Structure 1
Amino acid sequence: MTTAGDMMHRGAQWIPAHETLDRAAQLMRELNVGALPISDENERLCGILTDRDIVVGCVAMGHDPARVTAGDMAKGTPRWVEADADVSEVLGEMQGHQIRRLPVVENKRLVGMISEADLAMHLTEQQLAGWAESVYAKG
Protein backbone atom coordinates (compact mmCIF):
# COMPACT_ATOMS: atom_id res chain seq x y z
CA MET A 1 0.00 0.00 0.00
CA THR A 2 1.37 3.39 -1.00
CA THR A 3 1.21 5.98 1.77
CA ALA A 4 1.52 9.75 1.96
CA GLY A 5 5.02 9.19 3.35
CA ASP A 6 5.95 7.23 0.22
CA MET A 7 4.57 9.92 -2.10
CA MET A 8 5.73 13.09 -0.38
CA HIS A 9 8.72 15.27 -1.06
CA ARG A 10 10.84 15.15 2.10
CA GLY A 11 12.55 18.15 3.60
CA ALA A 12 9.64 20.56 3.62
CA GLN A 13 10.21 23.57 5.82
CA TRP A 14 7.88 25.84 7.76
CA ILE A 15 7.79 29.58 7.43
CA PRO A 16 6.97 31.05 10.85
CA ALA A 17 3.83 33.20 10.84
CA HIS A 18 5.84 36.23 12.00
CA GLU A 19 8.24 36.11 9.00
CA THR A 20 7.76 38.69 6.26
CA LEU A 21 6.77 37.83 2.72
CA ASP A 22 10.08 38.99 1.30
CA ARG A 23 11.83 36.43 3.51
CA ALA A 24 9.26 33.81 2.45
CA ALA A 25 10.03 34.53 -1.21
CA GLN A 26 13.75 34.17 -0.52
CA LEU A 27 13.16 30.83 1.21
CA MET A 28 11.02 29.64 -1.70
CA ARG A 29 13.86 30.51 -4.06
CA GLU A 30 16.45 28.73 -1.88
CA LEU A 31 14.29 25.59 -1.61
CA ASN A 32 13.05 25.78 -5.22
CA VAL A 33 9.40 25.50 -4.11
CA GLY A 34 6.24 27.45 -4.79
CA ALA A 35 4.57 26.97 -1.42
CA LEU A 36 5.49 26.93 2.26
CA PRO A 37 3.46 25.71 5.21
CA ILE A 38 2.99 28.49 7.78
CA SER A 39 3.56 27.61 11.44
CA ASP A 40 2.37 29.36 14.56
CA GLU A 41 4.60 29.89 17.60
CA ASN A 42 3.98 26.26 18.66
CA GLU A 43 5.03 24.87 15.26
CA ARG A 44 1.44 23.98 14.39
CA LEU A 45 0.18 24.36 10.87
CA CYS A 46 -1.83 27.57 10.52
CA GLY A 47 -1.82 27.97 6.72
CA ILE A 48 -0.01 27.60 3.44
CA LEU A 49 1.68 30.44 1.61
CA THR A 50 2.16 30.25 -2.15
CA ASP A 51 4.21 32.35 -4.52
CA ARG A 52 0.91 33.41 -6.09
CA ASP A 53 -0.34 34.62 -2.68
CA ILE A 54 2.70 36.88 -2.41
CA VAL A 55 2.25 38.34 -5.89
CA VAL A 56 -1.54 38.64 -6.05
CA GLY A 57 -2.35 39.18 -2.37
CA CYS A 58 0.50 41.53 -1.52
CA VAL A 59 2.51 43.03 -4.39
CA ALA A 60 -0.40 43.52 -6.81
CA MET A 61 -2.38 45.17 -4.00
CA GLY A 62 0.39 47.73 -3.50
CA HIS A 63 1.56 46.33 -0.16
CA ASP A 64 5.19 46.06 0.90
CA PRO A 65 6.30 42.40 1.20
CA ALA A 66 8.86 43.52 3.79
CA ARG A 67 5.98 44.60 6.06
CA VAL A 68 3.36 41.89 5.45
CA THR A 69 3.84 38.62 7.33
CA ALA A 70 3.12 35.05 6.32
CA GLY A 71 0.56 34.96 9.13
CA ASP A 72 -1.25 37.92 7.58
CA MET A 73 -1.80 35.76 4.49
CA ALA A 74 -2.95 32.61 6.35
CA LYS A 75 -6.65 32.10 5.67
CA GLY A 76 -9.06 29.25 6.21
CA THR A 77 -8.51 25.91 7.87
CA PRO A 78 -5.22 24.29 6.90
CA ARG A 79 -5.44 20.77 5.51
CA TRP A 80 -2.88 18.00 6.03
CA VAL A 81 -2.51 14.23 6.22
CA GLU A 82 -0.56 11.85 8.42
CA ALA A 83 2.46 10.15 6.85
CA ASP A 84 0.74 6.76 7.09
CA ALA A 85 -2.40 7.92 5.22
CA ASP A 86 -3.12 5.83 2.14
CA VAL A 87 -3.58 7.14 -1.40
CA SER A 88 -7.37 7.30 -1.08
CA GLU A 89 -7.07 9.54 2.01
CA VAL A 90 -4.57 11.81 0.24
CA LEU A 91 -6.78 12.11 -2.84
CA GLY A 92 -9.91 12.59 -0.75
CA GLU A 93 -8.33 15.47 1.16
CA MET A 94 -6.95 17.16 -1.96
CA GLN A 95 -10.04 16.62 -4.10
CA GLY A 96 -12.52 17.44 -1.37
CA HIS A 97 -10.88 20.80 -0.71
CA GLN A 98 -9.58 21.49 -4.24
CA ILE A 99 -5.97 21.83 -3.13
CA ARG A 100 -2.79 21.19 -5.07
CA ARG A 101 -0.28 20.93 -2.23
CA LEU A 102 -0.73 18.96 0.96
CA PRO A 103 1.51 18.99 4.05
CA VAL A 104 2.36 15.61 5.55
CA VAL A 105 2.87 15.29 9.31
CA GLU A 106 4.19 12.60 11.59
CA ASN A 107 3.99 12.87 15.39
CA LYS A 108 2.55 16.39 14.90
CA ARG A 109 5.67 17.51 13.01
CA LEU A 110 5.97 18.49 9.36
CA VAL A 111 7.86 15.78 7.46
CA GLY A 112 7.02 16.56 3.83
CA MET A 113 4.69 17.96 1.20
CA ILE A 114 2.75 16.30 -1.57
CA SER A 115 2.55 18.31 -4.79
CA GLU A 116 1.21 17.73 -8.27
CA ALA A 117 4.60 16.38 -9.35
CA ASP A 118 4.54 13.83 -6.53
CA LEU A 119 1.06 12.70 -7.54
CA ALA A 120 2.14 12.33 -11.17
CA MET A 121 4.90 9.95 -10.09
CA HIS A 122 2.71 7.75 -7.88
CA LEU A 123 -0.82 7.68 -9.32
CA THR A 124 -2.29 5.80 -12.23
CA GLU A 125 -3.32 7.88 -15.23
CA GLN A 126 -6.97 7.39 -14.24
CA GLN A 127 -6.36 8.52 -10.64
CA LEU A 128 -4.38 11.54 -11.83
CA ALA A 129 -7.07 12.52 -14.33
CA GLY A 130 -9.78 12.25 -11.65
CA TRP A 131 -7.71 14.35 -9.26
CA ALA A 132 -7.04 17.05 -11.87
CA GLU A 133 -10.70 17.21 -12.89
CA SER A 134 -11.91 17.68 -9.33
CA VAL A 135 -9.17 20.06 -8.19
CA TYR A 136 -9.24 22.31 -11.24
CA ALA A 137 -13.02 22.25 -11.73
CA LYS A 138 -14.67 25.61 -11.23
CA GLY A 139 -17.34 25.46 -8.65
Structure 2
Amino acid sequence: MTTAREVMHSGCECMNINENLATVARRMAELDIGAMPVCGDDNRLKGMVTDRDIVVKAVAQGKDPAQVKAGEILDGGTVWWVDPGTDVEEVLHEMAEHRIRRLPVLENEELVGIISQPDLAAKLPKDKIGELVETISGSSH
Protein backbone atom coordinates (compact mmCIF):
# COMPACT_ATOMS: atom_id res chain seq x y z
CA MET A 1 0.00 0.00 0.00
CA THR A 2 1.27 3.44 -0.94
CA THR A 3 0.36 6.10 1.63
CA ALA A 4 -0.29 9.83 1.55
CA ARG A 5 3.05 10.40 3.30
CA GLU A 6 4.87 8.72 0.39
CA VAL A 7 3.36 11.00 -2.28
CA MET A 8 2.92 14.31 -0.45
CA HIS A 9 5.09 17.40 -0.63
CA SER A 10 6.33 17.82 2.92
CA GLY A 11 7.63 20.92 4.65
CA CYS A 12 4.67 23.06 3.61
CA GLU A 13 4.29 26.60 4.79
CA CYS A 14 1.09 27.88 6.26
CA MET A 15 0.31 31.61 6.04
CA ASN A 16 -1.53 33.22 8.95
CA ILE A 17 -5.18 34.20 8.38
CA ASN A 18 -4.25 37.80 9.25
CA GLU A 19 -1.58 38.06 6.54
CA ASN A 20 -2.57 40.31 3.64
CA LEU A 21 -3.13 38.88 0.18
CA ALA A 22 -0.23 40.80 -1.35
CA THR A 23 2.15 39.02 1.04
CA VAL A 24 0.46 35.67 0.38
CA ALA A 25 0.70 36.23 -3.40
CA ARG A 26 4.40 37.18 -3.18
CA ARG A 27 5.15 34.04 -1.17
CA MET A 28 3.19 31.90 -3.63
CA ALA A 29 5.24 33.41 -6.48
CA GLU A 30 8.51 32.76 -4.62
CA LEU A 31 7.53 29.13 -4.07
CA ASP A 32 6.04 28.80 -7.57
CA ILE A 33 2.79 27.38 -6.20
CA GLY A 34 -0.87 28.04 -7.00
CA ALA A 35 -2.34 27.46 -3.55
CA MET A 36 -1.26 28.40 -0.05
CA PRO A 37 -2.52 26.81 3.16
CA VAL A 38 -3.88 29.33 5.67
CA CYS A 39 -3.68 28.69 9.40
CA GLY A 40 -5.14 30.45 12.41
CA ASP A 41 -3.21 31.84 15.34
CA ASP A 42 -3.44 28.33 16.81
CA ASN A 43 -1.40 26.98 13.85
CA ARG A 44 -4.40 24.89 12.75
CA LEU A 45 -5.37 24.74 9.07
CA LYS A 46 -8.33 26.98 8.29
CA GLY A 47 -8.36 26.64 4.51
CA MET A 48 -6.48 27.16 1.28
CA VAL A 49 -6.09 30.37 -0.72
CA THR A 50 -5.50 29.88 -4.44
CA ASP A 51 -4.13 32.32 -6.97
CA ARG A 52 -7.62 32.27 -8.51
CA ASP A 53 -9.18 33.21 -5.14
CA ILE A 54 -6.91 36.26 -4.94
CA VAL A 55 -7.90 37.36 -8.44
CA VAL A 56 -11.64 36.62 -8.25
CA LYS A 57 -12.37 37.52 -4.62
CA ALA A 58 -10.12 40.56 -4.30
CA VAL A 59 -8.47 42.03 -7.42
CA ALA A 60 -11.48 41.63 -9.75
CA GLN A 61 -13.67 43.31 -7.14
CA GLY A 62 -11.38 46.32 -6.93
CA LYS A 63 -10.04 45.43 -3.50
CA ASP A 64 -6.45 46.24 -2.61
CA PRO A 65 -4.64 42.92 -1.91
CA ALA A 66 -2.46 44.74 0.60
CA GLN A 67 -5.60 45.58 2.61
CA VAL A 68 -7.43 42.22 2.43
CA LYS A 69 -6.51 39.50 4.91
CA ALA A 70 -6.19 35.90 3.79
CA GLY A 71 -8.88 34.85 6.26
CA GLU A 72 -11.37 37.23 4.64
CA ILE A 73 -11.49 35.28 1.38
CA LEU A 74 -11.71 31.78 2.82
CA ASP A 75 -15.10 30.33 1.97
CA GLY A 76 -15.71 28.98 5.47
CA GLY A 77 -16.63 25.56 4.10
CA THR A 78 -15.24 22.21 5.07
CA VAL A 79 -11.49 21.88 4.75
CA TRP A 80 -10.87 18.42 3.29
CA TRP A 81 -7.70 16.65 4.42
CA VAL A 82 -6.18 13.22 4.96
CA ASP A 83 -3.93 11.57 7.50
CA PRO A 84 -0.36 10.64 6.40
CA GLY A 85 -1.23 6.94 6.64
CA THR A 86 -4.16 7.19 4.23
CA ASP A 87 -3.91 4.86 1.21
CA VAL A 88 -3.43 6.75 -2.07
CA GLU A 89 -6.56 5.09 -3.45
CA GLU A 90 -8.53 6.84 -0.69
CA VAL A 91 -6.66 10.08 -1.42
CA LEU A 92 -7.73 9.73 -5.05
CA HIS A 93 -11.32 9.09 -3.99
CA GLU A 94 -11.38 12.14 -1.68
CA MET A 95 -9.94 14.44 -4.34
CA ALA A 96 -12.38 13.19 -6.98
CA GLU A 97 -15.43 13.20 -4.68
CA HIS A 98 -14.81 16.74 -3.43
CA ARG A 99 -13.39 18.00 -6.74
CA ILE A 100 -10.23 19.38 -5.26
CA ARG A 101 -6.81 19.64 -6.88
CA ARG A 102 -4.72 19.86 -3.72
CA LEU A 103 -5.33 17.91 -0.53
CA PRO A 104 -3.67 18.89 2.76
CA VAL A 105 -2.14 16.15 4.90
CA LEU A 106 -2.57 16.65 8.66
CA GLU A 107 -0.94 14.75 11.50
CA ASN A 108 -2.11 15.53 15.03
CA GLU A 109 -3.99 18.53 13.59
CA GLU A 110 -0.74 19.98 12.18
CA LEU A 111 -0.11 20.49 8.46
CA VAL A 112 2.67 18.13 7.39
CA GLY A 113 2.20 18.11 3.61
CA ILE A 114 0.06 18.62 0.54
CA ILE A 115 -0.84 16.20 -2.23
CA SER A 116 -1.50 17.53 -5.73
CA GLN A 117 -2.64 15.83 -8.92
CA PRO A 118 0.95 15.49 -10.21
CA ASP A 119 1.96 13.84 -6.93
CA LEU A 120 -0.66 11.17 -7.51
CA ALA A 121 0.14 10.87 -11.21
CA ALA A 122 3.62 9.69 -10.30
CA LYS A 123 2.26 6.82 -8.19
CA LEU A 124 -1.07 5.67 -9.68
CA PRO A 125 -2.03 3.86 -12.89
CA LYS A 126 -2.83 6.17 -15.83
CA ASP A 127 -6.51 5.12 -15.97
CA LYS A 128 -7.08 6.17 -12.35
CA ILE A 129 -5.35 9.53 -12.88
CA GLY A 130 -7.45 10.05 -16.01
CA GLU A 131 -10.61 9.61 -13.93
CA LEU A 132 -9.35 12.08 -11.32
CA VAL A 133 -8.41 14.75 -13.85
CA GLU A 134 -11.70 14.33 -15.71
CA THR A 135 -13.73 14.61 -12.50
CA ILE A 136 -11.85 17.62 -11.15
CA SER A 137 -11.70 19.42 -14.48
CA GLY A 138 -15.46 19.76 -14.39
CA SER A 139 -15.00 21.78 -11.20
CA SER A 140 -14.63 25.52 -10.78
CA HIS A 141 -12.10 25.14 -7.90
> TM-score scaled to structure 2, two decimals?
0.93
* 1:130 partner SS: helix
* 2:64 partner SS: coil
Q: Is the 8 A contact 2:88 2:120 kept in 1?
A: no
Matches within 5 A, 1:82-121: 82-121=83-122
The alpha-carbon distance between structure 1 residues 134 and 16, as it changes in their structure 2 partners (threshold 3 A), is same
Corresponding residue pairs, total: 139
Q: In 2, Cα distance between the equivalents of 1:54 and 1:117?
A: 23
RMSD, aligned α-carbons? 1.3
Q: In 1, Cα distance between the equivalents of 2:104 and 2:16?
A: 15
Q: In 1, Cα distance between the equivalents of 2:35 and 2:138?
A: 21
Q: In 1, Cα distance between the equivalents of 2:30 and 2:49?
A: 15
More displaced 10-residue stretch of structure 1: 76-85 or 115-124: 115-124
The alpha-carbon distance between structure 1 residues 110 and 87, as it changes in their structure 2 partners (threshold 3 A), is same
How many angstroms does 1:138 deviate by?
5.3
The alpha-carbon distance between structure 1 residues 138 and 110, as it changes in their structure 2 partners (threshold 3 A), is closer
How many angstroms does 1:13 deviate by?
0.8
**2:87 corresponds to which letter in structure 1?**
D
1:54 aligns with 2:68: no
Cross-structure match for 2:125: 124
Q: Is the 8 A contact 2:104 2:114 kept in 1?
A: yes
* 1:81 partner SS: coil
How many angstroms does 1:11 deviate by?
1.6
Cross-structure match for 1:17: 17
Identity across matched positions, percent = 47
> TM-score scaled to structure 1, two decimals?
0.94
How many angstroms does 1:90 deviate by?
0.5
Q: In 1, Cα distance between the equivalents of 2:114 and 2:4?
A: 9
* 1:122 partner SS: coil
* 1:79 partner SS: coil
Q: Is the 8 A contact 2:45 2:110 kept in 1?
A: no
Q: In 1, Cα distance between the equivalents of 2:5 and 2:12?
A: 12
